Amino acid sequence: MAASIARIDIVLHGQGSILENSTIKDSGSWGIDFVQGGNSLTDTNNTFVNNEDGNIVPN
């Protein structure tokens, strides 16, 4: 049986998102993905571990 890797991440829509006290790990792509221009993220006390492409996609 072949192994598969899920490419799951957090996708933010809209403006002014807040993410606090979270662990984002083992994503098959980015930990957090901005899908629309102009998004802003306030992130406090978060831990990122082993996300394949990186932690937060540059916006």
Would you say residue 18 has pLDDT above 80? yes
The whole-model pTM stands at 0.70
Percent of the chain predicted with pLDDT > 90: 32
Which carries the bigger pLDDT value, residue 6 or residue 57? Answer: 57
Phi, psi of 24 (to 5 degrees): -115, 115
Residue 46 pLDDT greater than 80, yes or no: yes
Nearest to 10 by CA among 44, 40, 45, 55: 55
Distance of CA 22 to the CA centre of its chain: 11
**Confidence check: pLDDT of 27 > 60:** yes
Q: Evaluate if residue 28 carries a pLDDT over 50.
A: yes
Closest residue by Cα to residue 6 from 26, 21, 22, 34: 26
Residue 41: how many CB atoms within 10 A of its CB? 16
The sheet with strand 30-34 has its strands ordered as 10-12, 30-34, 54-56
Average pLDDT over residues 32-36: 74
